[in-house]
Chain A
Amino acid sequence: MKFAPDKLKTNPVTRFFRDNNSAFILILVIAAACISASPKFTRVGNIINLTQSIGTYGILAIGLTFIFLVGGIDLSLAYQVALDGTLFVIMCNSIGFFPAFLITLAIGSALGYLNGTIITRLKIPSLIGTLAVMTGLKGLVLILNHDSGGIPVEISLFGKTFSKFYNLKLFGFLTPSHIVCLVFLVAFALFLRYKRSGVNMYVVGGNPEAGLFSGINNDRLTRIAFTIGGFCASVCSMLVVMRMNTSTYNMGDNLDIIAICSVVVGGVKMQGGKGNMAMCIMGVAIIQIINNVMTKLGMRTAMQALITGIVVILVLILDKSSSHIKNQKG
């Protein structure tokens, strides 16, 4: 079991390497290969760009990790990002940045809570529940964006346009997405390790019956996990809006699939009960490093998709403990 007492006693560094060795070795190998393959890879500007995208994608992946931990899946994340982002832009243009920021966070959390409620109260498998939510949100997003057009951002923040603000560097290297992602990583890692509800999430995903008999409210924790997912989606959506300076109906497309692949590559189990923030961010880093170096090498996007797919499959094959879908219902 994950929380056997002897495991808690080991020091954090040993624990980190024991839990994450495959992902960590993979990341070293890939990074070494990248450095030797392309001299452009190690330039400071590129490293900042790379970590910036790791930050932006990482936030969505953090939310997804919680959903995976309780044994769920969220297909609606892409359209959650699109809806949050669109509403954020609309509100920014009408009532200003700070109210819009807070309301978007609230909307994101509410969408996540809605997902969680549908799954736990109606007792529908999360695959279908979130598929239904996805279809509904898709309609809303298309209506709000006037079918396939987009809504440009008309305001600025501290005298800078949104895309300038997104690339603003504190101490020469810390951009907003770095800061947000780091804060989230630390906060949620502490939550998973030291808060009772965080620790219990492993039980909900790993062995729900045991959780039930030991007095854990599985449904409540599932709702919390989905709410965190929705909250992270709203933060991610605002960063994406800042980067693009506009909202579009398809701004979330592929984000969720990349997040799912990243998290799985990092070693988080879709069946639930296994995963942590380190695995999550390393998975994101692996996928983003691969994409970054392929772009630097001038590879076509088609080739990049092909290689990403092969990496995902290879990681799955290497990770022999992943099992049949029968064992990860819901």
Chain B
Amino acid sequence: MKERNSSRRGQWFAGKENLGVIAMVIVFVVIVVSFSGAKFFTAKNITNLLRSVSVVGIMSCAVTLVMVSGNIDLSLGWMIGFCAVITGQHSGNFGEALLFAVLAGTACGALNGFLVGVLRLNAFIATLGTMYIFKGVTTLYSDGRFVTKLDPSSVLEFVGQGQILNIPTPILVFLLFAVVFWFLLKKTSFGTKVYAVGANSVSAHFSGIRCWLIVLAVYMLTGLATGMAGTVLYAKVMSVQPYSGVGLEFDVLTAVVLGGTSVTGGKGNVLGTILGVLFVGILSNGFTLIGLGSNATYITQGFILLAAMWMDVKSSGGFKS
């Protein structure tokens, strides 16, 4: 609970646990700018960068809660595929598409939450199993084909491709989710309970917190956010492959972990996650600007993840294990 207190004092940027990633973001921006000149700081480039990370960002904010509660979700890649396919099938009517996608996501999340929270199965394996289930359901539902519709709803198109005050809507959705989840985790009693469950589920249980309910809730919230992310994913290009989300769970995991959230639970915050998401975005955007391919990005990302974790371990005096 000590980390939690220090993060309260740190107010905006939640204390020392985010210093590593902030430092790296700054260093990396300097490197990119010095190699690519002024191209990086154009409004167009920044908007592109943010737009490209918005889907991962929406999911990462929710997954932060799951990780803080000491669990993990590996089923996200096919879950977002499922939600995006459902959006595509109903893309004639925006309300219907969003409602069904969010409902499907929440139902998937509820299944995960039921297995992990109520039945107390190992989160890692249980979500691997549900990943297979979602894979099967998605492929059966879409017949394995890519989904698109000729006359999509204009509102849906606006969500994916429109702009408000020159800011693309996906970024605004990302911001909205970031604010909501930041508020949930830091300013409500629910958030405090999530920290308590992650830090020590036994003592949380004896303090009268219903752990199963908290875990169920965080998984359902993740499902809800994934439903929204699926809608945005579809709306960005107005077509989707059922497997287009495969591997996304690792991007989300990387962003959340870079943001200082501990895999063992009880530590982390949404602001750090946003920095992590931004960092991954800047990395791939910067490498494209400099002229190195996306493959070099992966290699660098691996090294940076290691460096960030190492710094984290150094500053906090080692992982408790």
List residues of chain A with CB under 8 Å of any chain B CB.
Answer: 73, 75, 118, 122-125, 127-129, 131-140, 142-143, 147, 208, 257, 260-261, 264, 270-271, 300-310, 312-313, 316-317, 322-326, 328-330
The minimal Cβ–Cβ distance linking A122 to chain B, given in whole angstroms, is 5
Which of A127, A306, A330 is the one whose CB lies under 8 Å from B132?
A: A306
| B179 / chain A contacts, CB cutoff of 8 Å | none
| B138 / chain A contacts, CB cutoff of 8 Å | 302
Give chain A's interface secondary structure class. Answer: helix
| B72 / chain A contacts, CB cutoff of 8 Å | 127, 325
Which of A123, A208, A306 is the one whose CB lies under 8 Å from B319?
A: A123
User: Interface range on chain B: under 10, 10 to 19, 20 to 34, or 35 or more?
Assistant: 35 or more
Interface residues of B in 87-134 (CB under 8 A from A): 115-116, 119-126, 128-134
Q: Is the CB of B122 within 8 A of A142?
A: no
Q: Is the CB of A270 within 8 A of B122?
A: yes
Q: Is the CB of A301 within 8 A of B319?
A: no
Q: Is the CB of A309 within 8 A of B298?
A: no
Q: Is the CB of B128 within 8 A of A261?
A: yes
Q: Is the CB of A125 within 8 A of B136?
A: no
Q: Is the CB of B133 within 8 A of A309?
A: yes
Q: Is the CB of A309 within 8 A of B201?
A: no
* Chain A residue at smallest Cβ distance from B312: A124
| B200 / chain A contacts, CB cutoff of 8 Å | 326
Complex Cα distance, B119 from A76, in Å, reads 29
Is B318 part of the contact surface with A, judged by Cβ < 8 Å? Answer: yes
Which of B125, B131, B302, B310 is the one whose CB lies under 8 Å from A135?
A: B302
Q: Is the CB of B298 within 8 A of A135?
A: yes
| B293 / chain A contacts, CB cutoff of 8 Å | 143
| A73 / chain B contacts, CB cutoff of 8 Å | 124
| Contact A260 to B128, CB < 8 A, known contacts A131-B254, A313-B115, A322-B121 | yes
Q: Is the CB of B124 within 8 A of A139?
A: no
Complex Cα distance, B144 from A312, in Å, reads 23
Q: 10 shortest A-B CB distances, which residue pairs?
A: A306-B136, A136-B302, A309-B132, A139-B298, A302-B139, A309-B133, A312-B129, A139-B299, A132-B305, A305-B136
| B275 / chain A contacts, CB cutoff of 8 Å | none
* Chain A residue at smallest Cβ distance from B125: A264
Complex Cα distance, B297 from A139, in Å, reads 7
Which of A135, A306, A308, A316 is the one whose CB lies under 8 Å from B121?
A: A316
| Contact A324 to B126, CB < 8 A, known contacts A129-B309, A132-B305 | no
Complex Cα distance, B129 from A307, in Å, reads 10
| B139 / chain A contacts, CB cutoff of 8 Å | 300-302, 305
Q: Is the CB of B250 within 8 A of A131?
A: yes
| B131 / chain A contacts, CB cutoff of 8 Å | 257, 309
| Contact A326 to B299, CB < 8 A, known contacts A270-B124, A307-B136 | no
| B294 / chain A contacts, CB cutoff of 8 Å | 142
5 A-B pairs with CB atoms under 8 Å apart are A128-B263, A306-B136, A308-B136, A317-B119, A325-B70
Q: Is the CB of B130 within 8 A of A313?
A: yes
Q: Is the CB of A124 within 8 A of B132?
A: no
Interface residues of B in 138-177 (CB under 8 A from A): 138-140, 144
Is B313 part of the contact surface with A, judged by Cβ < 8 Å? Answer: yes
Q: Is the CB of B124 within 8 A of A135?
A: no
Complex Cα distance, B118 from A38, in Å, reads 37
Complex Cα distance, B310 from A133, in Å, reads 14
The minimal Cβ–Cβ distance linking A317 to chain B, given in whole angstroms, is 6
Q: Is the CB of A132 within 8 A of B306?
A: yes
Complex Cα distance, B303 from A249, in Å, reads 21
| B140 / chain A contacts, CB cutoff of 8 Å | 300, 302-303, 306
Which of A122, A260, A329 is the one whose CB lies under 8 Å from B125?
A: A260
Q: Is the CB of B309 within 8 A of A329?
A: no
Is B321 part of the contact surface with A, judged by Cβ < 8 Å? Answer: yes
Q: Is the CB of A329 within 8 A of B321?
A: yes
In the complex, which of the residues A118, A125, A128, A317 has the most CB atoms of chain B within 10 Å of its own CB atom? A128
Interface residues of B in 25-84 (CB under 8 A from A): 70-72
* Chain B residue at smallest Cβ distance from A264: B125
* Chain A residue at smallest Cβ distance from B304: A132
| A143 / chain B contacts, CB cutoff of 8 Å | 293, 295-296
Complex Cα distance, B309 from A261, in Å, reads 28
Q: Is the CB of B305 within 8 A of A306?
A: no
| A325 / chain B contacts, CB cutoff of 8 Å | 70-72, 116, 122-124, 265
Is B320 part of the contact surface with A, judged by Cβ < 8 Å? Answer: yes
* Chain B residue at smallest Cβ distance from A142: B295
| Contact A329 to B264, CB < 8 A, known contacts A122-B306, A132-B309, A134-B302 | yes
| A139 / chain B contacts, CB cutoff of 8 Å | 295-302
Is B277 part of the contact surface with A, judged by Cβ < 8 Å? Answer: no
Q: Is the CB of A316 within 8 A of B136?
A: no
The minimal Cβ–Cβ distance linking A5 to chain B, given in whole angstroms, is 30
| A261 / chain B contacts, CB cutoff of 8 Å | 125, 128-129, 132
The minimal Cβ–Cβ distance linking A21 to chain B, given in whole angstroms, is 20
| A257 / chain B contacts, CB cutoff of 8 Å | 128, 131
Is B257 part of the contact surface with A, judged by Cβ < 8 Å? Answer: yes
